[in-house]
Amino acid sequence: MADLEKAEIVGTPALKGTYVSEMDMWPFECEEFNRIYPFYDNLRAGKFTTTKCKACGYVAFPPGVICPKCWSEDLEWVELPQRAKVVCFTETQAGAPIGFPSPLIMAWLTFGEGTPLKHLLGRIVNCKEGELKEGDEVKFVVFDVPSHPIDVKRETEVRDRVYYAFEPVK
Amino acid sequence: MAEKKRAVIVGGGTSKFGVRKATIHDMIQEAARACADDIPALKPADIDGLIIATTMAGRHSSALNTAPLVVHRLGLSPTSLCIRLDTLCAGSNSAVIVAKGMIESGIADVILVTGAEKVYAPQRWETNYTQLMVNDHDWDSAMGLGVPPPFFAMIARMHMKRYGTTKEQMAHVSVTNYTYGTDSPMAHFGGRSLTMQEALEARIIAEPFGLYDCCPLSDGASAIIIASEERAKELSDRPAVYLRGTGQHATHSMSAGWPGDTLAEWPHLKTAGEVAFKNAKLTPKDIDVAQTHDCFTISEIIELEELGFCKKGEGGAFVASGAIKQEGSIPTNTDGGLLVYGHPFGASGARQALEICKQLQGRALHQVKDAAFGLTHNLSGTCAQHTVVVYGREPVD
C-alpha cells in the first residue's frame, strides 16, 4: 500500500499505457472476439458485405450469426452496393467525441430501389465543411483505425483494425 | 373470483436536476426524501418492491449492481422485487410498465420506482465520449455518432424539407416549455426564462438547432410510488390516479433498420401510442395533458403528430398555434419537460409520471383545468424505442 499512498500518478495506476476495451471507439474485429470477423476481412479486401439467409433469402444489416427474420443459421456473405446518395447531412459543430476529427460530417444515405440496404447513417470523409450537398453521390471507402492488444497465451499480440465510411464522388 | 387489482400512482419527488455536486447515491436519497415529503404517511417499511432505472450507473458511477446499493442507502427491505432496469432515456417509464404488471398480478403492493443518473464526470470530455456506448456501438457510433444532436438535426432538416416546418415553429416549443419550467425549483434551468428572439439567436449546436432546441444532459434522480388501490388509500387521501394503459415498441437499434420512409416519420411511435390508447380504452382526443420526450424541439413536434394530437406534418403549425400552452388543446410538458427540467436519462420517465400524477390530482404548478386523463412518452436510444403510459382519474374497467 505504501506505493499507492504516495500517489505519484494522477488517476488510475492500472491504466498506465493499458488498452481499456470499455473506452474503445471501434469494434472487436478479430476472430478471437467476434464471429462476424469476415465483415472486417472483407473490408480489408475493399468489399462492403453482409450476411444473407440461405433459408428465407433475407439480407440483414448489420451482419449476424443467425437470420433476424427466420433465425436460421444457414447464412452466406454477399456484397452490398458501394454507392449511395445523400438525403440530408449534418456537420457537427459541438460535442463530437474525442478521437473523431472536426468537422465530423454525418449523412443519411439511401442506396436506391432494389437494394437490400434501404438507408444508413454514414460518416463522410475526404470532404471539407460546406462542400457536401443534398443529393450528392458518395462512395464507400476503407481506412485504418487504431489497433488493440490481445493476450495470446503468455504473449501480447497486436490486432490491426480497419473501418469504413463514405466520400464524395468527384 | 377476487376483484381485479388496480395500480395507481400515489405521488413522488425529484432531486434538483442539473450539474450536481453529488453522487448518484446522494441524489437517489434526495429523491426519496422528496417522495416522502409528498406522501407523509410513507415509511421505508411500506415499500415491498424496488425498481431503479439507470443507464450510466457502472459507467460514471462505480455502481453496476445498483438495486442493493439503493436498498442499503434508503433502508429498504423489499420482498417482492428488487431490480435495476435500463432502457436508456425511457428507464423509469419502462419501470412504470413493470410496476403496473406486478401490482395488478398481486405479486407486489407498494413499489418504489426510482430513476437516477450521474452523467457529469470529473472531466467533461468523458460525458460526451460515453455517448458512443449508448448508440449501436460497432456501427452508428463507429461512424462518429455520440451525443444525439447530429442525428436529431437530420430529423429536423428532413421534417423542414417534407412538411415545411420552420425554426420559428420549433422555437415555440422551447419558449412554451420555459414558461412552464421556469418556476420549477428542482428544474435544471429553473428560474430562467426564454424569449422567441433569444431562442432564434442562440449559438448553433448542430444546424438547424440552436442551444435552446436541445435538452441538457443532467445529473438527477426521481422517485415515485406505484401501489395497489387499497394500499394507496392507506398512504394518501388524494384522489387515485390509475395506470390505465401502456405500450412499448422497438424495431431496430441502428440506422439501417430505421422504420420510417424518411427520418421525419416515426411509425414505431405511432404503434406504441396506438397500443397504449387501446389498452387504456381511450383516444388522443380524451387526453387533457401530456408529457412527451422533448429531447429536442423537433421531437415534441413529431411526437404530437405520431401520438395523434394533430395531423402528420402539421406539428409545427400546431405548436405555433398555442395548442401546447396551458389553455391549449393539449398542454404539453407542463413542468418544463426535458428542455427545461433537464434530462438525467433514467430519471425522466418518473419525473413525467409525477407531473401527470399532480395534474390529475389537481395540484400541479401549472394546473390544467379539470385534467382527467394524461399521457407520458419517452423515446430512447437513437430514436430506437418508444414507451407510452396513459393515466386516468377513473380506472380502465
Ordered by where they begin, the domains of chain B are 7-123+219-235 (3.40.47.10), 149-216+245-392 (3.40.47.10)
Whether the predicted pLDDT of A5 surpasses 80: no
Confidence of residue A7 (pLDDT cuts 50, 70, 90): low
Q: What is the largest CA-CA distance in chain A?
A: 67
Burial profile A12-30: b = 16 or more Cβ within 10 angstroms, e = fewer = eeeeeeeeeeeebbbbbbb
Cβ–Cβ contact B139 with A under 8 A: yes
Confidence of residue A1 (pLDDT cuts 50, 70, 90): very low
pTM, two decimal places: 0.96
Among residues B61, B300, B77, the alpha carbon closest in space to that of B173 is found at: B300
Per-residue model confidence (pLDDT) at position B2: 63
- Chain segment A60-69, per-residue pLDDT in tens: 999 999 999 9
- Which of A27, A91, A120 has the CB atom closest to B255's CB atom? A120
Nearest-neighbour CA in chain B from A160: distance (Å): 16
Interface probe for B, chosen from A88, A145, A167 (most Cβ of B below 10 Å), is A88
Whether the Cβ atoms of residue B19 and residue B219 lie closer than 8 Å to each other: yes
Nearest-neighbour CA in chain B from A155: distance (Å): 27
Identify any residues that bridge with A148 across adjacent strands, giving them in sequence order.
A159
- Which of B144, B206, B258 has the CB atom closest to A119's CB atom? B258
- Which of B125, B141, B150 has the CB atom closest to A92's CB atom? B150
Percentage of chain A with pLDDT > 70? 95
Which of 79-98 (A) contact B at CB < 8 A?
Answer: 87-98
Mean pLDDT of chain A: 92
Whether the Cβ atoms of residue A91 and residue A103 lie closer than 8 Å to each other: yes
Q: DSSP 3-state assignment of A133?
A: coil
Which portions of chain B are predicted below pLDDT 50? none
Nearest-neighbour CA in chain B from A75: distance (Å): 19
Confidence of residue A13 (pLDDT cuts 50, 70, 90): confident
Per-residue model confidence (pLDDT) at position B31: 98
DSSP 8-state symbol, A97? P
- How far is the C-alpha of B307 from the C-alpha of B292, rounded, in Å? 10
Whether the predicted pLDDT of A2 surpasses 70: no
* Angle subtended by helix axes B297-306 and B267-280, to nearest 10: 50
Cβ–Cβ contact A116 with B under 8 A: no
Is A26 in contact with B142 (Cβ distance < 8 A)? yes
Cβ–Cβ contact A58 with B under 8 A: no
Confidence of residue A95 (pLDDT cuts 50, 70, 90): confident
Nearest-neighbour CA in chain B from A154: distance (Å): 28
**Structure ipTM over 0.90, yes or no:** yes
- Chain segment B366-392, per-residue pLDDT in tens: 999 999 999 999 999 999 999 999 999
Whether the predicted pLDDT of A3 surpasses 90: no
